[in-house]
A and B are shown apart, each in its own frame.
Chain A
């Protein structure tokens, strides 16, 4: 199994609070992605990174920011959580076409 871990795995937070999700890899893969998964939708890209300090927006980036200060870590921050951000979040890494996914983080905003 590829070395990719997400933390936390589950989180309940209140509307308006900041939340940070962490994705950590031990594979030294260049590309890292954050997706959200919601019923009726395929995985939707929030942000991605193609190297340290190189990030770009995906199709559903509003309300989210990311940072990648080290190859192995890609952080997703919800500056002020809203109920519409209740979802399951997946991190993925990729190199030479291969893709590996984390176990997901179930976030509930109440």
Chain B
């Protein structure tokens, strides 16, 4: 049983396209994180959300607590956005559950 489900697993886009990655979770949470991992690289936290919407540059993250769903949007995608994006939720006991990630490739 996976507490966190992401879709799609793999995504290929042309440079400039608008991209959406979805995350659904089944546990009660105190926060949701979107993480980015470049090939062979470390993991970087992009956003922490507990409600509503956050924007950072070309990245936008939204969360609907009632529906237990979050989306990560990338506007005007660029090849440097190619990475694995991971959804993680933090439940009240300070445990994190992770999705298996979405591998994004942006083609010039």
Contact = CB atoms under 8 A, between A and B. Distances in A.
B100 A40 contact: yes
Interface residues of B, number: 24
A98 B42 CA distance: 16
Secondary structure at chain B's binding surface: helix, strand, loop or mixed? Answer: strand
B20 interface: no
Interface string A16-42: 000000000000000101010000111
Given A50-B94, A94-B94, A99 B33 contact: yes
27 contacts: A31-B94, A33-B96, A42-B2, A42-B4, A42-B97, A42-B100, A42-B101, A43-B86, A43-B88, A43-B96, A45-B96, A48-B95, A94-B94, A97-B50, A99-B33, A99-B45, A99-B48, A99-B88, A99-B96, A101-B35, A101-B42, A101-B43, A101-B45, A102-B42, A103-B41, A104-B41, A104-B42
